[in-house]
Amino acid sequence: MKLPSIKFKLPKLKIYGIDVIKNALFFTFYIILTLFIIAFIMAPSIKEFKSTKNAYFLSEQEFENTKQTYQSILEKLTKLQNQNQKILNAFKRNFNKNNFKLFAKNYINIIKITKQNTTPYKDKFIKTSYMITAQIKSPKNFYDFVDNIKNYKNIIRVYFPIDFEKSNKEINLTFKIEHYKLTAKAEEKAH
């Protein structure tokens, strides 16, 4: 059996030599093609572009804010460090018996310094106790010593027991001091 052959031919309508129907079909196809490209290529690209652009600008803004926060914290920290440099340095220094005797010489006459024990204090500090045997001429010497201990290069606390005993013209004095220092670990973290 022979299949019937379908022959289709566009009708021709010419105006001033232009094939109106063919050009209309080309135009229609052009519109369809454009819509297709917009729908499947342009729209996703624009969407992607917009979302990445927004994300970028948001991250840029967040970065600027974080940078400002960092700068402000850094400034405050530097200021705080400068204001408390003396204290911070004092917490890093080791205790030296001879140096302490030299410092105390102006107020009390230290005869003996005996190290007692070393214990951790509040995780970040080490507390070392020393018993001090000294002589003073009047209690005022001891008051002056305690008043001026804040000017010493270490952090020293005068602590109990405190024993005053009169002996001829002098007063024998026995008391405890505690030296506070940053632990090596805390010192590392401070930098």
Partner 1 sequence: MYSFTKAKKKNYFKEDTKLWLIFYFISVFLYVSFALFLLVKSYFYTKYYQSNNQNIMILNTKISSLSLQKENIKLQKTLYENIMVKNSLIKDSIKNLLDLIPDPITLNKFLLKKNSLIIYGITPTKDVYNLLMLPPLESIFSNTKTIFYQMPNGWYKFKSINTLKGNNETAFN
Q: Which is nearer to partner 1, 13 or 37 (CB)?
A: 37
Give yes or no for a contact between 115 and 128, defined as CB atoms under 8 angstroms apart. Answer: yes
Q: In this structure, what DSSP letter does residue 151 have? A: G
State the amino acid at position 26 in one-letter form: F
d(CA 104, CA 173): 13
Closest CB 4 distance from partner 1, rounded Å: 28
Q: Where are the beta strands (DSSP E) in the chain?
A: 14-15, 18-19, 109-121, 125-136, 155-167, 170-182
Residue 52 within binding range of partner 1, rule CB under 8 A: yes
Residue 134: count other Cβ atoms within 10 Å of its Cβ: 22
Residue 69 within binding range of partner 1, rule CB under 8 A: yes
Residue 31 within binding range of partner 1, rule CB under 8 A: no
Size of the site for partner 1 (CB under 8 A): 66
Q: Which is nearer to partner 1, 7 or 166 (CB)?
A: 166
Could you tell me the CA-to-CA distances from 61 to 1, 49, 65, 125 in Å, in that order? Answer: 77, 18, 6, 41
Instruction: Point out which residues bind partner 1 (CB under 8 A).
Output: 18-19, 22-23, 26, 30, 33-34, 37-38, 41-42, 45-46, 48-49, 52-53, 55-56, 59-60, 62-63, 66-67, 69-70, 73-74, 76-77, 80-81, 84, 87-88, 90-91, 122, 124-125, 139, 142-143, 146-147, 149-150, 155-166, 180, 182, 186, 189-190
